Chain A
């Protein structure tokens, strides 16, 4: 390990050459100076940054609490239930989602530019980020592991129907699939179809039928039992 560090020290002639061109690829891997175990790697970096006053442990707790307990798919589910119940709201949401969502307080990091896409019997929408893990945080929270997996990122654009089958979803042949690859700062939310047999249900009852996966497009809304 020590030999490795010495050989790759940035003061060495080889590394200096690497640093002399754009962009700086990480041939000298500063991260390799931290412990290899990922949990220890985080802990080590957190300790160093805290000692230098660059991060505030209380702020970390606040960030974690926000995404663990406050912001999650329940937000998106409320929006979908309202859209199912209120045609004017639905029309405004589909036409220009940002002001509508801002009114509800669902604006923020990773949801600055929202587009809501509507599922119909003729078109099923599905969202992916093939290049990283872009996801509408204010409406759905932090993405699930599968959304960030190589398998989903690689396959959703090429064989969405096979991926859907792995989620237990089979579409009728008359439904076209439109896959949205989130390559910019625009974030997409799928408005799933309202299930049969939900006439007269309140927004709260409807929201309970809206799953996270149905708003990503890898699932359908639940049918009331």
Chain B
């Protein structure tokens, strides 16, 4: 079973509403603050990018659907801060302990921001299993799409590709496996591939016989054909 965030191919969402190229980067001031607070909290080092993505996906389907983009961010952040023991529920209610937090010395300082953003967080790793597939090879996206390690856990295999036949387009290298990393089970790096699928394999009414969709899929998401 899938979660509400896995919406590729879904019907009923209506038209896309393009915005002017020069529209403000942040439509509201609080959007900018939500982004900045989230990035600054990430720098405390209490979780990784896969954990934070999963925190947004774990919002209840009702909340995920009704929340705007940055509402999801800020709500998932509050949940994660409590879950990881950084804040208490009393803190969120304004009734927590006063004074500096034990992690305060790890807070991101203004003069460290440019360096932290420029440094990024590469997902490639040395080692891991050897590549099993070569470009051009036919593969099938595994069934089911669920996280194989954790029931209801994080995965990056979208439901719409499940069981579909595709072709290896390229090997990206060996990347951290989100299905493991999101749950504190280690990085478990695996070969990551770009895999192309004919649109007509994925959709009953593809728009054009030559159209394709490419997904980045880890080796354990794929089976040989």
> Which A residues fall within an 8 A CB radius of B?
9-10, 21-27, 29-31, 33-34, 38-39, 41-46, 48-49, 51-56, 58-64, 66-68, 71-73, 107-113, 115, 128, 130-133, 141-142, 144-146, 148-155, 157-163, 166-167, 173, 176-186, 211-213, 218
Interface residues of B in 169-223 (CB under 8 A from A): 172-173, 175-176, 178, 183, 192, 194, 196, 199, 202-203, 207-208, 210-218
- Give the Cβ gap from A222 to chain B, nearest Cβ, in Å: 10
Which residues of B lie under 8 Å from residue A24 when comparing CB positions?
A: 58, 83
Which residues of B lie under 8 Å from residue A185 when comparing CB positions?
A: 49, 122-123, 175-176
Q: How far apart sit A9 and B93, CA to CA, in the bound complex (Å)?
A: 13
Q: How far apart sit A142 and B157, CA to CA, in the bound complex (Å)?
A: 24
- A52 with B208: in contact, given A130-B8, A167-B18, A184-B123 (CB under 8 Å)? no
Question: B93 to A33, Cβ gap below 8 A?
Answer: yes
Which residues of B lie under 8 Å from residue A34 when comparing CB positions?
A: 75, 78, 92
Question: B25 to A68, Cβ gap below 8 A?
Answer: yes
- Let me know if B148 is at the binding interface, CB within 8 A: no
Which residues of A lie under 8 Å from residue B211 when comparing CB positions?
A: 160-161, 176-179
Question: A52 to B17, Cβ gap below 8 A?
Answer: no
Other A-B pairs beyond A63-B36, A158-B8, 9, CB < 8 Å:
A25-B58, A38-B67, A43-B30, A67-B32, A115-B172, A144-B19, A152-B16, A154-B13, A185-B176
A and B contact pairs by CB, cutoff 8 A, 10 listed: A24-B83, A31-B74, A59-B107, A61-B110, A67-B35, A109-B120, A149-B13, A153-B8, A154-B7, A181-B8
- Give the Cβ gap from B5 to chain A, nearest Cβ, in Å: 6
- A45 with B17: in contact, given A55-B108, A62-B113, A112-B123 (CB under 8 Å)? no
- Give the Cβ gap from A113 to chain B, nearest Cβ, in Å: 7
- Give the Cβ gap from B186 to chain A, nearest Cβ, in Å: 14
Contact residue among B17, B59, B83, B203 (Cβ-Cβ distance under 8 Å from A158): B203
- Give the Cβ gap from A218 to chain B, nearest Cβ, in Å: 7
Question: A23 to B58, Cβ gap below 8 A?
Answer: yes
Question: B122 to A112, Cβ gap below 8 A?
Answer: yes
Question: A132 to B207, Cβ gap below 8 A?
Answer: no
- A42 with B37: in contact, given A112-B122, A154-B8 (CB under 8 Å)? yes
Question: A63 to B74, Cβ gap below 8 A?
Answer: no
- A22 with B150: in contact, given A64-B32, A167-B16 (CB under 8 Å)? yes
Q: How far apart sit A180 and B150, CA to CA, in the bound complex (Å)?
A: 27
Contact residue among A148, A159, A183 (Cβ-Cβ distance under 8 Å from B69): A148
Contact residue among B27, B157, B160 (Cβ-Cβ distance under 8 Å from A145): B27
- Give the Cβ gap from B208 to chain A, nearest Cβ, in Å: 7
Which residues of A lie under 8 Å from residue B173 when comparing CB positions?
A: 113
Contact string against A for B residues 79-105, beta-carbon threshold 8 Å, 1 for contact and 0 otherwise? 101110011010111101011110110
Which residues of A lie under 8 Å from residue B108 when comparing CB positions?
A: 55-56, 59
Which of A52, A108, A145, A218 gathers most chain B CB within 10 Å? A52
Question: B7 to A183, Cβ gap below 8 A?
Answer: no
Q: How far apart sit A26 and B173, CA to CA, in the bound complex (Å)?
A: 34
Question: A39 to B153, Cβ gap below 8 A?
Answer: no
Which residues of A lie under 8 Å from residue B94 when comparing CB positions?
A: 44, 48
- Give the Cβ gap from B185 to chain A, nearest Cβ, in Å: 10
The 7 closest A-B pairs by CB, nearest first: A130-B8, A53-B104, A176-B210, A184-B216, A58-B110, A31-B75, A185-B123
